Amino acid sequence: MKKLGFPRMYKEKNERRAFLPDFFKQLASTGTPIFLESGYGSRMGYDEEDYRSVNENIVFTSEEEANSQDVVVVLRSPRNEELDSFTAGTTLVSMLHYPTREHRTRILKEKGIKAVSLDSIRDDFMQRMVYNPKGTSYNGMELAFRELSAVRKDFFSKGRAPIEVTIIGMGMIGHKAARAAAHFGSKELYDEVKARMSKGVIVHMLPRSITSDRFEMSRILAGTDILVDATTRDNPYKFIVDNDLLAVLKDDAIILDLTADPYLSDDDGVQVKAIEGIPTGNLNKYVLRADDPSYDEIPAVVSTVNRRTVVSCDAWPGVKPELCMRLYGAQLLPILLRLIDKDVSEMSLDSGDYYERAIHRATIAFYEEHEKSATRA
C-alpha cells in the first residue's frame, strides 16, 4: 500500500496554509498511511488531535520522513535544496510551474522524482482543475483598491472622475479581476463609495492587438489608476510593458501584479515579468513602494527607472488561507485517490479514466513533449 507524506511549507512567516482536517477525513476510508510533519496545520490554528480524530491512519513525524513517502503532497514547491531529501521514485505533487522553473524541472528529472505539477493538471478541454482564480484576483484587487484609497485624498469625493483599471491578460484571472474591480475590490469599499455617491470604475481589458500598439498603450496608461498584470505569456523572457511606458502612469497609480512571475536566470537568459522593472511581493509584504529595497533585488539588466507602488504576492490565494485550502482540498481529493491506487508512470492520455488523463498532463514528460517547444518559440 502506498504511503502519503505531507511536509510543512517553510516559506515566509505569513504562509500559514495546510490541508484541513476535513480533507484527511475523506481519505480515512482508504486506509492509506499518512505522515504529517510535526506542527502541520498549527499556523492555521489546528493541533495534532484535530487531524488524528478524523483519520486514525495519520502519524506525525519529521520533515525528512514526510518527504520520504511514496507520494509527497505540498502546495508550494520545495526549495531546490529541499529536494535533496527526496528519493528516486517518489511522486511529488506540488505547484511546480514547469515553464518558468527550468532549473528545478531539471533537478526533478536528474533525481528521478516523478513530478505532478498542480498548476498543470488539466481536463480534456485543457482547463486547469486545481485552481483558485478568484482567490488570486479578488485578494489582489481588494488590496490594490485599499492602497489607492489610502493615497488618493479624493477617493471618496463626489467630484472625482471614475477610477480607471487597465487589465493586461484576458484569461480567467483577468476576467475575475475585472469583476472584482467593478466592486472596488471589496464590499466594504463598494458600500462606502456608494454611500458617498462617488463615481464608479471603468475597466479596460487589453488584448494583444492593443498591448503591441505602443501609441494606444501610452494613451490608455496615461489615464490608468490601477494597472493589472493578469497575463499568461508564451515567452517568459520578453516584457509586454517596458519600463519606459510606465513613465506615463500617474505618480500615485498602483501596479497590481497578479501573475507574480519571478526573475530567474537560466541557460536561455533572464526570465522577466510582463511589466518591466517591478518587484515581487510575498505573504509577509505585498505593498512595495517606489523606494522599497526589493527594487534592488531586480536583475541589473532590467530597467527600474520608472517606479510606482506595486501590490504583488507570489501566493495570492494564501492571503485568505482557510478559504483557499477548502477549495484546493476539494479539487485535489479525486486526484490523490488515483495516485493512491495507481503509479503516475502508468497513466496516459489513452486511459479511460478522466482524472488519470488529467494527471498525465501534469507530468514533465507531457510538458516536454507537447508544450516546452511552444513556450520557447
Q: Where in the chain is the domain with CATH 3.40.50.720?
A: 4-130+321-376, 133-318
Question: Mean pLDDT, to the nearest integer, of 259-286?
Answer: 92
Homologous superfamily assigned to 133-318: NAD(P)-binding Rossmann-like Domain (3.40.50.720)
Cα–Cα distance measured from residue 221 to residue 17, given in angstroms and rounded to the nearest whole number: 36
Q: Which residue has the cell 527600474?
A: 304
pLDDT at 236: 87
DSSP 240: S
pLDDT bracket for residue 272 (50, 70, 90): very high
Strand 309-312 versus strand 287-288 pairing type: antiparallel
Other Cβ atoms less than 10 A from the Cβ of 374: the count is 10
Cβ partners under 8 Å of residue 247, min gap 6: 305, 306
Q: Supply 143's cell numbers.
A: 488590496
Question: Mean pLDDT, to the nearest integer, of 137-165?
Answer: 97
Mean pLDDT, the chain, integer: 96
Tell me the β-bridge partners of 287. 311
pLDDT bracket for residue 374 (50, 70, 90): low
Question: Mean pLDDT, to the nearest integer, of 342-346?
Answer: 98
Model pTM score: 0.91
What are the pLDDT digits (tens) for 208-224?
A: 999 999 999 999 999 99
DSSP 263: P
pLDDT bracket for residue 377 (50, 70, 90): very low
Strand 34-37 versus strand 58-61 pairing type: parallel
CATH code: domain 4-130+321-376 is 3.40.50.720
pLDDT at 102: 86
What are the pLDDT digits (tens) for 45-87?
A: 999 999 999 999 999 999 999 999 999 999 999 999 999 889 9
DSSP 78: P
The residue that leads in pLDDT, 56 or 103, is: 56
Judge whether residue 304 has pLDDT over 50: yes
Judge whether residue 169 has pLDDT over 50: yes
pLDDT bracket for residue 267 (50, 70, 90): confident
CA distances from 101 to 79, 117, 271, 301 (A): 11, 11, 9, 19
Q: Is 366 left (phi over 0), alpha (psi -120 to 50) or beta?
A: alpha
- Read off φ and ψ for residue 270, nearest 5 degrees: -105, 120
Strand 264-266 versus strand 269-271 pairing type: antiparallel
